[in-house]
Structure 1
């Protein structure tokens, strides 16, 4: 692994950045929010703390007390919203589904506490001298939950499916994992019968070939692997709707637990996989329960809830009460994710997301001066101080402070300034007509804002934004909130009545590259923003050979952040600290900067 180790250290490992969804990896709808995502503090293990962290006196690495691990028992883990019930990793979009997938599916590599890539389904790997080829050597004793062997053919099938011509139109959004592979353009266009960039050398060796030297090769090949023998006969265009995506006993992975039953919107039962390749899990079962934030504290105190993960974690308002519980331990971390308000710059059918000829400009939000005025009018500082009790940060660009790509001086800062917002609107021709302003042509002007349920702070933010904007004369129609899954379906389907929407996003733990969401051709470009300079700066930051120099990448991301803040395709709102909580009798959890669900086979319950 000498070459791979060198590549990591040169390109990625000065980054302490991670979330979703979830890879990328955890997303909450168009979020990788709450993902994934995804996503933290510099080189922090669970036995360390800094000014953003509190480990509540837990000084043992991986939460291990003295004594031997015990087998048996069931734990209940909580999340605030129900999954979207899309348990095919190729098509999931929410962090709630990822809570299930992270325990049932695995990838070739994963990341440790310091965000270094380490083996998972692959035990070793190497690059060629040009860094255009990456060869993985796979574990040989891995089986799927139905007992079938895991092989290199499953890896080829996974990445070929992501590159399939019907993938995006079927709802797939992970194209960034395949788009750098040799032959991708021909394959996705239907001009080639095979994807040249991924090949099974033998049953336990797979080779990825990239069009150009790939500075993100390990991150790009770190997606969940799915089973060819389960999905191979299903056309990619039909996979998302096939029973294998939502029927418990048809969801077959290689992870330590498998989904055996669920009551939709209530609880999801995962039983241990006794033949798991790293050894049978200590726990018998993990039950994910959808809980209301209002009863979360009582459930923790009464030992009814053993683990509270993101999205959400412990609300900051309840943190002191939870920390005082003798039966609960907490850890607070800065999240790599953030909440934002996006503008719908273009409308158009979702099944032609990548066909810009079908995009219709949303004239109501095209004016950059309007977007700048809105940024000044929103009291983001009040969200952090008032709603989060200071457990968060106002965001002025898309890189959290934990990222090596963060530069406090790069973005323009739009502080809360009602006078400045009014001045900008006046100069841009939005004139008062009674209680509200007209558009520059003198017509009635109303912006529609949509938002999801499931995140209490975000739910409270939405009407405040409405009040803030109406204070400067912008009439806002605040649509009734929908369940997260329905909200993000509406966002993805590009509802023509939607002008603005609230969501969250977590940057992937492997690399700060934002192109998976902001590139105009990205499947996750739900705002439908299209700007040549915007795209160019993102692509320059990941294009070899210059991008092998991290100083160069930092410079490009500084330029991109400045341009981002000039144009404001979305308005970053805040990054909320994540406060994890677990029962003191639950041991073996590894708190990583980007997630806590790795190595769940090592969790055990003191009984």
Structure 2
């Protein structure tokens, strides 16, 4: 296994504190000791909890909190939100995982090898893995998963994960319906599968690390019908290879995961995990009363409650950098259909085309104030979507947008946005009424509270904002995928993949997650150059290219990164076996156990 090959070591180096809240999708956990009197209450430290001396105990149920309900899609190739992922991370397994240093490690594949020019990777699969329904896991399931994401109907059916297949040989032909099979993924035998890429691929392990779905469940279902099938949506019907299975749910309220006794790594210790959808404001009381055993992402412990939770003797709390950030997005183009990749139907949204307008908005928003007031100082301002802990972070490469009403007013004046009728709000350069719509979701309390602050900040420099009524998070992101809306600005969060800080998924003009509908030729060029072999096997080359891209991003500002925040998680001290990794705490959940 060439896990440590020089060509791939740089991928493992992404132990850059994947502070998704800081700008990239990878962060190292910050584990410290409890603060004493007079120290900064936002400086979270992991309490020292003495591990029990006895053996792990079998049985028990834990209750975990989610602040928003999952959208209801529990098929990995179609899921959309982090709340759905809270279920999927327990029910489905990947070919490879990542360790505390973000090096790739065996999972469903126990070994792998590359060919000499890095265009092929062959995986050797575990042979004793069964699905939740008892069927055997084989290489055919792997081929089926990736072939489904390349299907001609996948994108039209709401699929967004083409980044995992579009580098494979034969993808264009298969996705266009011109080929009967996807040449780039082939089963050599029942437990060997080979991926072949069009070019040497510096992110091959990441691109093939996707969770696998069962062929025997979905093989007779057309891809366009797969997302609506009960095996993708209904408790008791969702089938994975993971340590827990979704057996019951009260939609929007409660989701029950029961252990998969035949789990291939060993029978889980816990009997079940009960997810409850609760209001963030009652989380602290439930933790204190013993009604909750785990609070993790998204959201974690509310920053205002950190000091209170820290004093709970039965609770262990720890902090790790998030691998994501919150941003104010601009909808640059619209169109009559919802195809992200068909740019021929796009028409510019003239209201947000002016770069100086976007720069003025960046200066007008008091991002530092949001961090101090809503995050209690536990966050960072970003001017490009790479976190401070990332090897792609380069503060010297980007433009700095400090909070300054004077600078915002100057830019707006220069761009021709002036108040011509003395009503307190600026008209556009043509003298017409100018109103920017702002849409945002519920579920993330800080983001919800930031929305009216942003409105007030922008109106302080004369930009009129129509702050719409917030939608439930799942409905918000359904609307975000549509082209034919009147959205101008929106709030959302983005998490970068722990495997690589590649900005392509959100910012590539033809990427499935290009919610911005941003189309910039130079951006696309730099993103692709940063991954072009053989130069891209040199980490310094990639750093240089990403610095060039970050400079372009911070000049054009297709979106405004608002802040990244550190995640503060908490669990009952009687819950043991949690492994804290930069990108997750869910790995090896079959080893979680309750001291009873």
Query: Counterpart in 2 of 1:372?
Result: 359
Write the distance in 1 (CA, Å) between the matches of 2:298 and 2:114.
Answer: 36
1:13 equivalent in alignment to 2:3: no
What is the TM-score when the length of structure 1 is the normalising length? 0.94
How many residues align? The count is 589
The structure 2 residue matched to 1:484, chosen from 467, 473, 482, is 473
Write the distance in 1 (CA, Å) between the matches of 2:533 and 2:556.
Answer: 27
Query: Counterpart in 1 of 2:536?
Result: 547
Query: Counterpart in 2 of 1:87?
Result: 74
Write the distance in 2 (CA, Å) between the matches of 1:461 and 1:369.
Answer: 23
The structure 2 residue matched to 1:77, chosen from 52, 61, 64, is 64
The residue correspondences of 1:273-284 to structure 2 (distance < 5 A) are 273-284=260-271
For structure 2, the residue ranges without an aligned partner over 5 or more in a row are none
Write the distance in 1 (CA, Å) between the matches of 2:31 and 2:144.
Answer: 35
Cα displacement string for residues 412-447 of structure 1 (whole angstroms, at most 9, x for unaligned residues): 011000001001100100111321001111111000
Cα displacement string for residues 222-279 of structure 1 (whole angstroms, at most 9, x for unaligned residues): 1110000011111111111222211111100000000000001111000000000011
Asked if the contact 1:45–1:591 (Cα under 8 Å) also holds between the matched residues in 2, the reply is no
Give SS of 1:501's match.
strand
Per the TM alignment, residue 13 of structure 1 is displaced from its structure 2 partner at its CA by 1.8
Query: Counterpart in 1 of 2:287?
Result: 300
The residue correspondences of 1:201-600 to structure 2 (distance < 5 A) are 201-432=188-419, 433=421, 434-600=423-589
Write the distance in 1 (CA, Å) between the matches of 2:302 and 2:34.
Answer: 22
Asked if the contact 1:77–1:305 (Cα under 8 Å) also holds between the matched residues in 2, the reply is yes
**In structure 2, do the counterparts of structure 1 residues 349 and 178 end up closer, same or farther at CA, with 3 Å as the change threshold?**
farther
Per the TM alignment, residue 128 of structure 1 is displaced from its structure 2 partner at its CA by 0.5
CA RMSD of aligned residues (A): 2.0
Write the distance in 2 (CA, Å) between the matches of 1:342 and 1:335.
Answer: 19
Asked if the contact 1:350–1:492 (Cα under 8 Å) also holds between the matched residues in 2, the reply is no
Write the distance in 1 (CA, Å) between the matches of 2:24 and 2:112.
Answer: 25
Write the distance in 2 (CA, Å) between the matches of 1:210 and 1:287.
Answer: 41
Write the distance in 2 (CA, Å) between the matches of 1:589 and 1:494.
Answer: 42
Write the distance in 2 (CA, Å) between the matches of 1:132 and 1:537.
Answer: 21
Query: Counterpart in 2 of 1:30?
Result: none
Write the distance in 1 (CA, Å) between the matches of 2:243 and 2:21.
Answer: 23
1:118 equivalent in alignment to 2:132: no
Per the TM alignment, residue 56 of structure 1 is displaced from its structure 2 partner at its CA by 2.9
Query: Counterpart in 1 of 2:590?
Result: 601
Per the TM alignment, residue 15 of structure 1 is displaced from its structure 2 partner at its CA by 1.5
For structure 1, the residue ranges without an aligned partner over 5 or more in a row are 21-32
Give SS of 2:155's match.
coil
Write the distance in 2 (CA, Å) between the matches of 1:559 and 1:213.
Answer: 23
Per the TM alignment, residue 293 of structure 1 is displaced from its structure 2 partner at its CA by 1.1
The structure 2 residue matched to 1:57, chosen from 47, 58, 82, is 47
Per the TM alignment, residue 379 of structure 1 is displaced from its structure 2 partner at its CA by 0.4
Per the TM alignment, residue 517 of structure 1 is displaced from its structure 2 partner at its CA by 1.1
Write the distance in 1 (CA, Å) between the matches of 2:303 and 2:338.
Answer: 40
Asked if the contact 1:53–1:331 (Cα under 8 Å) also holds between the matched residues in 2, the reply is no
**In structure 2, do the counterparts of structure 1 residues 313 and 495 end up closer, same or farther at CA, with 3 Å as the change threshold?**
farther
The structure 2 residue matched to 1:138, chosen from 125, 132, 151, is 125
The residue correspondences of 1:22-33 to structure 2 (distance < 5 A) are none
Give SS of 1:577's match.
strand
Write the distance in 2 (CA, Å) between the matches of 1:34 and 1:153.
Answer: 37
**In structure 2, do the counterparts of structure 1 residues 164 and 545 end up closer, same or farther at CA, with 3 Å as the change threshold?**
same
Asked if the contact 1:35–1:94 (Cα under 8 Å) also holds between the matched residues in 2, the reply is no
Asked if the contact 2:260–2:268 (Cα under 8 Å) also holds between the matched residues in 1, the reply is yes
Per the TM alignment, residue 135 of structure 1 is displaced from its structure 2 partner at its CA by 0.3
Per the TM alignment, residue 318 of structure 1 is displaced from its structure 2 partner at its CA by 0.6
Per the TM alignment, residue 542 of structure 1 is displaced from its structure 2 partner at its CA by 0.6
Cα displacement string for residues 143-165 of structure 1 (whole angstroms, at most 9, x for unaligned residues): 00000000000000000011111
